[in-house]
Amino acid sequence: MKTQSDGAHVVPVRVYLAVFAALMVLTAVTTAAAFHDLGPLNNVVALGVATLKATLVVLFFMHARYGTRLTPLVITAGLFWLLILIALSLTDYLTRGWLGVPGR
Amino acid sequence: MSSDAAAAAASRHATAAPAHQFDTPAQQRETASLGMWVFLVTELMFFGGLFLVYIVYRYAYPRAFALGSHELDIVLGTTNTVVLIASSLTMALAVRSAQIGRRRPLVVCLVLTMILGSVFLGIKAYEYHHKYVERLVPGPDFRFPGEEHARIFFSLYFAMTGLHALHMIIGIGVLAVMLVMGARGRFGPQYHNPIECSGLYWHFVDIVWIFLFPLLYLVGRHV
């Protein structure tokens, strides 16, 4: 791995090609899995593979692996905020039917 | 640091000197990419709201989402996924070419990225047209016998893929600027912030699609 005078990593072409190949394989896996009824596992596979693919893109194509630690920190903070948005909203929407509410 | 006119002119052409508020080119580069990442986090929250709506409504109407998803063309969706990931590869190679100061591969890779992006948009436009003909565009003509709530699925389909397509169009515009800068030899080992940040944007748009594809095209496939 070469480091340039300004500290930028030049990633070897074969790394990019390997990541691309992995993304293609994962696309095939998720598409094939969707044709089988796996029950709740369908969602797990679909989102798991998508998350894996996104992680590969972020780490290699977007160079998050190669920069300072500040970049992963910003990404983690962003994802944490997204988690707050989704989790706290769902505590409302997913639990509305749990208790008997007078008048319903 | 005595900067004369020649040095100033040179700094505009991919040589060492960073802008005066930075100590080193590395600091300048890290600052630029940090700023881009912060912007991408705001984009994440922007799309995150739509993903939240998707989760809430899919939980409420699972059958409508499965049947609606079944109406989407899996072949076109998968093709577009492959096309977009390939465009991310050529984008990454374009940034790499800029980093090592190779102008011709940079131009070729940028043009390829823009072509692949345009192919994606072309396929998307074809799909939109097909949905219009099938009366699956939410509106007065919408028809989906037996499952009225499929309207919600298709509203989300058009909102999410439409917003994504808008980002693609903006991305292609940004890449056109990078193409002109790159062809003029503005990027090199010492200076490639603009194309690095454009690459981050392009890859982010790719990631959004990586999630849209299973959520929209694959949810109802086995039904």
DSSP 8-state secondary structure symbol assigned to residue B22 = -
Query: What is the structure's pLDDT at A4?
Result: 52
The dihedral over CA atoms of A10, A13, A16, A22, expressed in degrees to the nearest 10, equals -150
Domain hosting B137: range is 38-218
Query: What is the structure's pLDDT at B221?
Result: 83
When pLDDT is cut at 50, 70 and 90, the band that residue B8 belongs to is very low
Burial letters A90-101, b for 16+ CB under 10 A, else e = eeeeeeeeeeee
Please report whether residue B142 resides in a domain.
Answer: yes
pLDDT at A102 over 80: no
d(CA A40, nearest CA chain B) in Å: 11
| Helical ranges in chain B per DSSP H | 5-11, 25-60, 62-70, 74-99, 103-133, 150-183, 193-212
A29 touches chain B (CB under 8 A): no
Dist CA A28 CA B8 (whole Å)? 51
A98 touches chain B (CB under 8 A): no
B160, burial (CB in 10 Å: exposed 0-12, middle 13-18, buried 19+): buried
Percent residues over pLDDT 90 in chain A: 74
Please report whether residue B134 resides in a domain.
Answer: yes
3-state DSSP call for residue B21?
coil
pLDDT at A2 over 90: no
List the CATH number of the domain containing B158.
1.20.120.80
pLDDT at A43 over 60: yes
Dist CA B52 CA B70 (whole Å)? 21
User: Which of A11, A60, A78 is closest, CB to CB, to B41?
Assistant: A78
Average pLDDT for B93-110: 96
State the Cα angle at B41 between B39 and B45, rounded to 5°.
120
- Number of domains into which chain B is organized: 1
Given an 8 Å threshold on Cβ–Cβ distance, is A50 in contact with B214? yes
| Helical ranges in A1-104 per DSSP H | 13-34, 41-56, 70-93
pLDDT at A104 over 70: no
Please report whether residue B32 resides in a domain.
Answer: no
Residue B222 token pair: 């086995």
Dist CA B195 CA B99 (whole Å)? 9
- Residue pair A20/B85 in contact by the 8 Å Cβ criterion: yes
Per-residue pLDDT reduced to its tens digit, B117-176: 999 999 999 999 999 999 999 999 899 988 889 999 999 999 999 999 999 999 999 999
pLDDT at A66 over 60: yes
Q: How far is CA B29 from CA B35, B55, B146, B172, in A?
A: 10, 38, 56, 23
A85 touches chain B (CB under 8 A): yes
3-state DSSP call for residue A3?
strand
User: Which of A16, A58, A93 is closest, CB to CB, to B92?
Assistant: A16
State the Cα angle at B86 between B83 and B88, rounded to 5°.
115
Per-residue pLDDT reduced to its tens digit, B16-58: 578 889 998 888 899 999 999 999 999 999 999 999 999 999 9
Report pTM. Answer: 0.91
- Using a CB-CB cut-off of 8 Å, the residues of chain A touching B49 are 85
For chain B, the first-to-last Cα distance in angstroms comes to 69
Please report whether residue B14 resides in a domain.
Answer: no
Please report whether residue B28 resides in a domain.
Answer: no
Query: What is the structure's pLDDT at B1?
Result: 42
Given an 8 Å threshold on Cβ–Cβ distance, is B74 in contact with A7? no
Given an 8 Å threshold on Cβ–Cβ distance, is B85 in contact with A23? yes
Given an 8 Å threshold on Cβ–Cβ distance, is A46 in contact with B218? yes
When pLDDT is cut at 50, 70 and 90, the band that residue B220 belongs to is confident
Dist CA A1 CA A10 (whole Å)? 7
- Residue pair A70/B30 in contact by the 8 Å Cβ criterion: yes
Residue A69 token pair: 């630690």
